[in-house]
């Protein structure tokens, strides 16, 4: 909380230097001015310690809208979120790391190892998905991405969609952002956060927005979602992991 009562968040910039990330924010904010996309403003910086502070995002998160389950609101919100994502994908950000094939496959392999520890059958299935992807690589695109997109990273107001937790940003394929969101629908359905109706409504928008590489990213994104379950305890963990992987 700031001295004047406004909430803010302090984070350590892991994937790039704090000053470089603040500079990136400034560059992007100039490009998205007047659009539907917003980024949380940088309010403070300790560059020598890699610490960066942001103003709190305003509005309601996509996560909360999915939990509420109003299918009309979900459809409207997802369309607006996609519009905001398209603004980001159209930006110029040459300082961002360009993702290679290995940048998609290696994190999935690490996740598959964790899944294997939790359930051998699911881990083997995850590895088969990865090897199939490795054997059939797509032509990758390179535009600015969030690259770790989840429903609680998007906050919706009447005229703006604000994106948070942007330290993960890279240049990569826009279908990766869409597939990450789509996989979170299955995860939310399995753990009981989202209703089936909510997921169907959201998925319809995402699949209509999907590009030519969405199917390739589909399995990799589900491996990342299944990893979340592999790190949890519980008698149903193995069954839930399989549900997400095979969705």
pTM over 0.85: yes
How confident is the model at residue 2, as a pLDDT?
45
Angle separating helix axes 196-209 and 174-190, nearest 10 degrees: 170
How confident is the model at residue 237, as a pLDDT?
77
CATH 3.40.50.150 is the classification of domain 59-245: no
Give percent above pLDDT 90 in the chain.
Answer: 72
How confident is the model at residue 6, as a pLDDT?
55
How confident is the model at residue 50, as a pLDDT?
78
How confident is the model at residue 1, as a pLDDT?
43
How confident is the model at residue 13, as a pLDDT?
62
Output phi, psi for 45, to 5 deg.
Answer: -155, 130
Query: In the chain, what are the domain boundaries?
Result: 59-245
Residue ranges for the chain with pLDDT beneath 50: 1-3, 15
């Amino acid at each position: 909380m700031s001295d004047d009562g406004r909430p803010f968040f302090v984070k350590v910039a892991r994937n790039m230097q704090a000053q470089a990330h603040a500079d990136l924010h400034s560059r992007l904010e100039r490009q998205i001015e007047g659009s539907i996309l917003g980024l949380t403003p940088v309010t403070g910086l300790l560059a020598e310690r890699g610490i960066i502070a942001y103003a709190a995002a305003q509005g309601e998160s996509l996560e909360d809208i999915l939990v509420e389950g109003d299918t009309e609101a979900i459809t409207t919100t997802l369309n607006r979120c996609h519009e905001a994502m398209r603004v980001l994908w159209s930006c110029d950000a040459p300082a961002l790391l360009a993702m290679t094939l290995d940048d998609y496959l290696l994190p999935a392999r690490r996740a598959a190892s964790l899944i294997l520890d939790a359930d051998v059958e699911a881990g083997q299935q995850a590895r088969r998905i990865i090897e199939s992807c490795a054997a059939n690589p797509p032509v990758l695109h390179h535009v600015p991405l969030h690259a770790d997109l989840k429903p609680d990273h998007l906050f919706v107001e009447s005229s703006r969609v604000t994106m948070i937790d942007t330290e993960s940003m890279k240049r990569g394929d826009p279908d990766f952002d869409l597939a990450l969101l789509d996989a979170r629908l299955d995860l939310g359905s399995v753990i009981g956060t989202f209703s089936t109706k909510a997921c169907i409504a959201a998925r319809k928008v995402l699949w209509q927005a999907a590009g030519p590489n969405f199917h390739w990213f589909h399995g990799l994104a589900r491996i990342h979602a299944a990893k979340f379950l592999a790190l949890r305890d519980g008698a149903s963990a193995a069954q839930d992991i399989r549900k997400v992987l095979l969705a």
